Structure 1
Amino acid sequence: MKNTNSDIFKNLSFLRGIIPAENLATALFVALKVKKEANKPDDINEALYDCSQFICNKYNCNNVFENKNVFLNFYQTVSSMGLDWIDILNIDTGKFGPMQIPSSVGNLLLDRVCDNISNVLIKDGEKFSLTLKDIVDKNKNCAYLITTTQVLYFEVLKEIFAEYQNVEIMQVGMNDFEFTSQKFDLILSLPPFGVRMMVEQQRDFICREYELASTESLLYHLSFTGKLVAILPARITFATGRVEELRNFIQKMYKIEEISELPTGIFSSTAIKTYLFTIASGMTDDVTIRRYKKVVDKKSKEVSIKLEDETFVMSTELEDFGDWNIDKIFARQDDDWQNFQNSNTKRVTLSDIATSFRGKVVNSKDETGAIGVVNIANIKEFDIDYNSLYHLDTDERKISNYILEDGDILIPARGTTIKTAVFKVQQYPCIASSNLIVIRVNQNQILPVYLKIFLDSPLGVKQIKGLQQGTTLMNISYKDIMSVEIPMIPLEEQKVISEEYEKELSLYQNTISAANDRWQNVVKELQNKF
């Protein structure tokens, strides 16, 4: 890379008001093309501007320059800073640019390029820009196919690798999963996360979510000894339904070599929790499980990643777990979890004894409304503050499916902390807001207070944390939470535990209240002496 100061370039551009963020990559592409195709480096300004118009027409680019002076100002800035083609891919344009793999993660991918491979597919090559040339240069005897869905990046990648005889650049459509019949020894992939576009139902994929369908399609392009290294959202590790079917398919048909949790916030453009997977052709006996943490150098502020935890599980064990939740795997290696697993107590999943649903979206409040709305803020350390509920004025029939029942467990679907509460029926109907998950238990099998006690325990919290899809902010699906394992004991024993909990909680709260009243009275008496 000729220039590593793309951020400086961006800041200068913004400060000088030359080009807005969403047009920056196009503007730099045009400027570099003009620099390359102009008859002479010192062409007069009019000729340079005419050339820019020609470039825009030739490559079907939007003309992002308001006038000749804007272009010339921008062109001179680019020329003075010595920027190159790779810098177009490295421009941090936020939501307008591609999701970039940071160097720290790119180096993990670089380690997967070895001497015994003959061909590599790099899907959406612009995302690998910070280490892309290093990956290609590591094995010059290998053939590389680099794809992109964007016309601009297609042209840029061709310029970057113009002198490379072993690199082919291909533009493919988002839904063009059969873009090649080749088989590859190594495939590197970072599919788009959270793309609203779903794969058509008639396509023969297990999941319709784009990132999962894309991953499944790439598996079919592996050679007999090939490996797919893919970065995927956390949901693939624990979600049920079709996602679970995809996990089962991969475990039965392929070899999972590695599941690694990447650090929180390592991708600047998303807060989604991410994992790095290595999936190979064939079968395996064990799976390496890793967790990385982010390290920031105090002086240079350079970000790197460091291995924090590492273990392995047998492939048969991973199948028995029913998911790929590495928090659960690491948790099961601590003493508490081992004792839980080795105990004679029967264990069931929440789905065996309860149902769940997400609360209702409430767009308006009405203090005179007859419907109470429980929100995250109403859930305190031990119970619900019913006095602070806001209300809703609507026909009860319209919200009948959301009316809370006595004993419902409420837990935040998003936020920063895990806390639970048992709902107690009020004199007026109540619903939960959409920020809450409602767990409705079969009280002939499990008592609500007993379930709350377990969910608040270290074992319960570890399992819930393992379901988080977000990073800084928790994001839990009401479907996924049903996979939490619960120790089942006879109802009579549950009743003894629940009654002791409620008795001691009442004593604790009364003691705190009495102590607080006494303190307030003492302070008041002392202040009255003045």
Structure 2
Amino acid sequence: MNTAIDYFINLFTIRGITSREQLLNEMLRVKLTAKAMKSQKKSIQDEYQLFELMKQSTENTILGYFPGDKDFFNSIYKVAHNVDLIEFTLKLYQNDRFGQIFSPVYLTEYICRLADEAKAQTILITEAEKSLLGLKNFVDKHKSSNITFTTSSALMFMMLKLGFEGYKNVSILNQSIYQELLIGTRFDFIYSLPDFSGKIESLNDKFMSSRPDIIATQNLLGQLSEKGTLVTVLPARITFSSSSEAKLREHIMTNYQLEDIYSLPEGTFRPYTSIKTYMLRIGVVKKESVNVGYLGYDNGLYIDKAKVVGSKEFSNHEDWRIELILEDDDENIKKYKSSTLERVKLHEVAEVFRGKSILKKDVKPGNIKVLNISNITDTGIDYSEMDSIEEEERKIKRYELMDGDIVLSCRGTAIKTGVFRKQKGIVIASANVIVIRPNHRILSDYLRIFFESPVGIALIKSFQRGTTVVNINHVDIAEMEIPLLSMEEQKELADKYAKEAALFRETVAKAEKRFQEEKEKIYNRLV
């Protein structure tokens, strides 16, 4: 632990200055003053001269006015002028759950290896502050390459300029990757960790989406040299979404070469986000195959499970869900993919929504019953042990379950599903449950049967945002493709299933009763 950093932060905290941006602002002020001090031909003799130098050097910049007097500045200068700026920035933003993302050092090291493989002479790392852990080591290993960093933050731009001013092969651009780029250079290697959420306003018609990750990827592909490679990390929806993500997939397959698509280890970007992410390597030069698989972590990233798929074969896949591609040898998956049955997206035949968030303190005897994951059993839904809350009906109406709704667990350790049947009173679903309300085109029982089939389970798992723990987003699962039989065929299968299930339960009950009776006879002979 660097005590100077802690002391610097505490000095400002005492004065009520606690925001990360303001603290970085003041550390940059100290560093700019120290830089001005070195450029002085004569040494600074007293606190007043130091204070005046600071004002001349920093107050006409984006840093603005210093929030204190000369005594206060002198105290923080003595503490911080020798502090490593990058170490301070990392310390300042560590565990910032709602702000600046910093990727783990092992990810930057892996990117470094990929840049080595590319033998890149020109390298671009966008929003470089996100890769601050390990960034100096990356630069040290590529001293013969021209490296460009971008950042859209004025403070981060100043931090990177000061932090890497000793590197002659590094240039810093204050440039957003979410608008038309003003970079004349083409790069042999580009790495991007774009924002995963939000929406970019005021875009021109050049971009296929307003989503930041789509914009950034489209933008950066246009910056590749004739032998260039883009490595980017994107959220799971890039593999299956039918909206702008589908347009980007088509754009890549038509104009570029998808070289690798690997699922990153769960929790790579915690505590900033737990979203499931994929690393894509996209090149300009066409190749014969695509590497598909998972990256594992053990003192560094490594390829945990992979499969080489011919580029032509890969292009035949409707989406890029690697879980299904890796299971191509599974007989059920083979039959599903080769089937000629009509298939529809789930959102075309059902309304899909997530249940209501219920806090523990809200659970108490009340007028509204709450269906949770624990109420979904192997044999159906157990209505006897549901929690309840007290709430106005109008506030929970949109979460009310209707007869025939399918409930699907979206969190936990196992995938559980059931068909809700109308109960006395109002029942709502909790936030751990996805509700699927079929329309006139599909039967509830038929849909549940498909969900619990081997193919259905495999498809549901392919939408998981987590790996070991189930984490499914209702927007994602709405993209799932369902085989659509005629209503008569659906009813036939559902009736047959129900009949066989009833026979199974009856047979098991008889067997259990017989076993219990025979046990009693045996026990009685022992006394």
- Cα deviation, residue 122, structure 1: 1.8
Give me the whole-angstrom Cα distance separating, in 2, the residues matched to 1:232 and 1:100: 15
Amino acid at match of 2:497: I
Return the match for 1:440 from 407, 416, 437.
437
Secondary structure (helix, strand or coil) at the match of 1:239 reads coil
Distance (whole Å) between structure 2 residues aligned to residue 511 and residue 181 of structure 1: 78
SS at match of 1:158: helix
After TM superposition, the score normalised by the length of structure 2 is 0.79
The counterpart of 1:319, out of the listed 303, 315, 318, is 315
- Of 200, 205, 223, the match for 1:198: 200
Matched, 1:121 2:120: no
Partner of 2:474: 478
Match of 1:130 among 129, 133, 142: 133
Distance, in Å, in 1 between the alignment partners of 2:513 and 2:273 is: 44
Match of 1:524 in 2: none
Would the aligned equivalents of 1:188 and 1:230 in 2 still touch at CA under 8 Å? yes
- Tell me the matched-pair count: 496
Cross-structure match for 1:220: 222
Pair 1:180-2:183 in alignment? yes
Q: 1:335 to 1:354 in 2, by over 3 A?
A: same
Distance 1:352 1:113, change over 3 A: closer
* Aligned position for 2:376: 379
1:298 is aligned to none
Alignment of 1:423 with 2:420, yes or no, is yes
| 1:27 match | 26
Match of 1:390 among 385, 388, 404: 388
Aligned-partner residue type, residue 354 of structure 1: V
Q: 1:277 aligns with which of 243, 258, 280?
A: 280
Q: Distance in 2 between matches of 1:373 and 1:74?
A: 55
Q: 2:114 — aligned with what?
A: 112
8 Å Cα contact 2:47/2:71 also seen in 1? no
Could you tell me which runs of 5 or more consecutive residues in structure 2 were left unpaired when the two chains were aligned. Answer: 517-527
Cα distance in 1 between the residues matched to 2:425 and 2:510: 26
Q: Distance in 2 between matches of 1:51 and 1:254?
A: 53
Q: Deviations over 1:481-505 (max 9, x none)?
A: 2444556784434432333234545
Q: Is the 8 A contact 1:410 1:422 kept in 2?
A: yes
How far, CA to CA, are the matches of 2:43 and 2:510 in structure 1? 84
What is the TM-score with the length of structure 1 in the denominator?
0.79
Q: 1:261 to 1:72 in 2, by over 3 A?
A: farther
Give the distance between the partners of 1:404 and 1:323, measured in 2 at CA: 32
Equivalent residues of 1:236, 1:243 under 8 A apart: yes
Cα distance in 2 for partners of 1:218, 1:182 equals 11
Deviation at residue 104 of structure 1 after TM alignment: 0.8
Bigger mean CA offset, 373-382 vs 240-249: 373-382
Query: Is 1:351 matched up with 2:349?
Result: no
Tell me if the contact between 2:354 and 2:434 (Cα under 8 Å) persists in the aligned partners: yes
What amino acid maps onto 2:293 in structure 1?
R
Question: Unpaired runs of 5+ in structure 1?
Answer: 296-302, 517-530
Out of 160, 163, 180, the position equivalent to 1:160 is 163
The change in CA–CA distance for 1:385 and 1:249 in structure 2 (over 3 A counts) is same
Confirm or deny: 8 A CA contact 2:33 2:58 kept in the other structure: no
Within a 5 Å distance, the mapping from 1:455-470 to structure 2 comes to: 455-470=451-466
CA distance in 2, matches of 1:406, 1:439: 11
8 Å CA contact 1:122, 1:189 repeated in 2: yes
Counterparts of 1:35-74 in structure 2 under 5 Å?
Answer: 35-38=34-37, 39=40, 43-61=45-63, 71-74=73-76
Q: How big is the alpha-carbon RMSD for the aligned residues of Structure 1 and Structure 2?
A: 3.9
* CA distance 1:174–1:108, shift in 2 (3 Å): closer
Amino acid at match of 2:352: F
Measured in 1, the distance between the counterparts of 2:413 and 2:65 equals 45
Distance in 2 between the 1:63 and 1:96 partners?
27
Cα distance in 2 between the residues matched to 1:414 and 1:61: 45
Question: What per-residue deviation string (whole Å, max 9, x for no partner) do you get for residues 161-197 of structure 1?
Answer: 4344433221124643222243222211111222x34
Q: Take 1:513 and 1:423, find their aligned partners in 2: how far apart are those partners?
A: 29
Residue equivalent to 2:497: 497
Superposed CA offset, 1:214-251 (max 9, x none): 21111122222221111112221222222222212221
Q: Is residue 110–residue 300 contact of structure 2 (8 Å, CA) maintained in 1?
A: no
The answer on whether the counterparts of 2:5 and 2:83 sit within 8 Å (CA) in structure 1 is no
Instruction: Give the superposition deviation at 1:15.
Output: 7.0
Distance across 1 between alignment mates of 2:424 and 2:351: 24
CA contact (8 A) 1:347 1:485 kept: no
CA contact (8 A) 2:400 2:428 kept: yes
Deviation for aligned residue 1:105: 0.8
Partner Cα distance (1:156, 1:89) in 2: 8
CA contact (8 A) 2:97 2:273 kept: no
| Structure 1 residues 59 and 515, CA gap change in structure 2 (3 angstroms) | farther
Question: In the aligned structure 2, how far is the partner of 1:120 from the partner of 1:328?
Answer: 34
Specify whether residues 353 and 506 from structure 1 end up closer, same or farther in structure 2 by C-alpha distance, changes over 3 A only: farther
Partner of residue 286 from structure 1, selected from 285, 289, 306? 289
After TM superposition, give the deviation of residue 421 of structure 1 in Å: 1.6
Contact (CA 8 Å) 2:177, 2:216: kept in 1 or not? Answer: no
